[in-house]
Amino acid sequence: MNSHFSIHIPLFVSTIDFKNIFVTLRLFL
């Protein structure tokens, strides 16, 4: 169970970071 969270949470955070980067790029462009 703990192993599942260790994998799942970083993927979720990675997705949020990707969206934030995308939004930031759109603001600059």
Alpha carbon distance 6, 12 (integer Å): 11
Q: What is the pLDDT of residue 18?
A: 85
Q: What is the pLDDT of residue 6?
A: 57
- Residue spans of the domains in the chain: they are 1-29
The tokens describing 3, both together, are 């192993």
pLDDT tens string 1-29:
556 555 566 667 778 888 888 999 898 87
Q: Which of 24, 29, 17 is closest to 9 using CA atoms?
A: 17
Torsion, Cα 15 20 22 27, to 10 degrees, reads: 170
3-state secondary structure of 29: coil
